[in-house]
Amino acid sequence: MIESLLQTIVGFVDTLFVSRLGLAEVTAVGVANTLLAVYIAVFMAIGIGTSSIIAKFTGADDYHDAKDAARQSSWISLIAGFALGIFTLCFAEQLLRLMGADGEVLSQGTLYFRIVGVPSFVISLMIHFGNVLRASGNTIAPMVISIWMNIIHIVLDYLLIFGIFQFKGFGVGGAAAATLFTRIIGVCFLYAAIRRSPIRFSLRASPTKKVLVWPIIRLSVPAIGERLIMRLGQVVYLGMVVIMGTEIYAANAIAENIETFAYLPGLGLSVAATVLVGKRLGANQYKEAYTIGLLASAISAAIMTVSGILLYFITPFLAVWFTNQPSTAAMITLAMRIDAFFMPPLAIGLVLAGALQGAGDTKTPLYSTAIGMWGIRVIFIYLLGIRAHMGISGIWIAQGIDLTVKAVFLFFCYQRKLGHKRKVLS
Would you kindly state where each structural domain of the chain is located, as residue ranges? 1-211, 219-426
Across the chain, mean pLDDT equals 85
pLDDT score recorded for residue 347: 95
Q: What is the mean pLDDT of residues 306-327?
A: 85
Rg of the chain, C-alpha, whole Å: 22
Distance of CA 238 to the CA centre of its chain: 18
Q: What is the mean pLDDT of residues 313-317?
A: 88
pLDDT score recorded for residue 23: 67
Q: What is the mean pLDDT of residues 324-334?
A: 87
Looking at the chain, how many residues does it have? 426
Return contacts of 71-75, CB within 8 angstroms, 24+ apart: 71/201, 71/202, 71/203, 71/206, 72/211, 72/212, 72/213, 72/216, 73/46, 73/49, 73/128, 73/132, 73/212, 73/213, 73/216, 74/125, 74/128, 74/129, 74/132, 74/201, 74/203, 75/203, 75/213
Residue 37's pLDDT band (cuts 50, 70, 90) = confident
**Pseudo-torsion of CA 278, 282, 283, 289, nearest 10°?**
30
Please tell me the pTM assigned to this model.
0.75
pLDDT score recorded for residue 304: 93
Q: Compute CA distances 235 → 85, 117, 229, 240, 290, whole Å.
A: 22, 20, 10, 9, 35
CA distance linking residue 389 with residue 244, whole number of Å: 9
pLDDT score recorded for residue 12: 64
Res 219 pLDDT > 80 = no
Res 60 pLDDT > 90 = no
Q: What is the maximal distance between C-alpha atoms in the chain?
A: 73
Q: Compute CA distances 418 → 277, 286, 349, 354, 411, whole Å.
A: 10, 7, 16, 13, 11
Q: Lowest mean pLDDT: which of 170-179, 227-236, 377-386?
A: 227-236
Contact 344, 295 (CB under 8 A): no
DSSP state of 388: S
Q: Lowest mean pLDDT: which of 21-35, 266-280, 299-313, 402-416?
A: 21-35
Q: What is the mean pLDDT of residues 313-321?
A: 85
Q: Considering only CA atoms, which of 283, 289, 265, 258 is closest in space to residue 355?
A: 289
Q: What is the mean pLDDT of residues 395-411?
A: 94
Q: Lowest mean pLDDT: which of 17-31, 95-109, 173-187?
A: 17-31
Q: Compute CA distances 224 → 39, 59, 184, 362, whole Å.
A: 10, 25, 24, 9
CA distance linking residue 20 with residue 46, whole number of Å: 36
pLDDT score recorded for residue 15: 66
More confident residue, 151 or 321: 151
Q: Lowest mean pLDDT: which of 207-221, 267-281, 305-319, 393-407?
A: 207-221
Res 424 pLDDT > 50 = no
Q: What is the mean pLDDT of residues 252-280?
A: 84
CA distance linking residue 333 with residue 312, whole number of Å: 8
Q: Considering only CA atoms, which of 167, 172, 173, 163 is closest in space to residue 22?
A: 172
Q: What is the mean pLDDT of residues 81-94?
A: 94
Contact 56, 282 (CB under 8 A): yes
Q: What is the mean pLDDT of residues 251-261?
A: 79
pLDDT score recorded for residue 10: 67
